[in-house]
């Protein structure tokens, strides 16, 4: 991957959170893109190689858990779940379906 490629993809249905997180990483020199839906994430991953995925659990009418499962079928980058949800069940599910960490 060359330096013009994205390194990180932020996926969150809250555009303000997604955009501000991506901007923060970009300020730090880590080229980051964001999308705000399940389908947009799959489309983006179909055309870009990513080194790290930041994924929210709630994606509007779809689930970040389902997206993680689908991404794991064809991609091997680290997936970090980022969520305000603090249930131990959510953490266990995230890690058992292929998430690498839960923040």
pLDDT in tens, 36-83: 999 999 999 999 999 999 999 999 889 999 999 999 999 999 999 998
Residue 4 lies in a domain: no
Residue 9 lies in a domain: no
Question: Nearest to residue 83, comparing CAs of 93, 73, 74, 75?
Answer: 93
Give dist(CA 20, CA 10) in Å, integer: 10
Q: In total, how many domains does the chain have?
A: 1
What DSSP designation does 74 have? T
- Containing structural domain, residue 76: 14-57+70-87
Residue 79 lies in a domain: yes
Instruction: Count other C-beta atoms under 10 Å from residue 12's C-beta.
Output: 26
pLDDT grade, residue 3 (50/70/90)? very low
Residue 3 lies in a domain: no
């Amino acid at each position: 991957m060359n330096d013009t490629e994205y390194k990180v993809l932020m996926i969150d249905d809250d555009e303000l959170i997604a955009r501000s997180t991506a901007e923060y990483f970009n300020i730090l020199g880590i080229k980051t893109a964001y999308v705000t839906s399940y389908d947009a994430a799959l489309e983006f991953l179909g055309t870009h190689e990513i080194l790290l995925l930041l994924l929210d659990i709630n994606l509007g009418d779809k689930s970040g858990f389902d997206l993680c499962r689908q991404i794991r079928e064809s991609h091997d980058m680290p997936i970090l779940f980022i969520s305000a949800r603090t249930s131990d069940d959510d953490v266990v599910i995230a890690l058992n379906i292929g998430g690498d960490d839960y923040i």
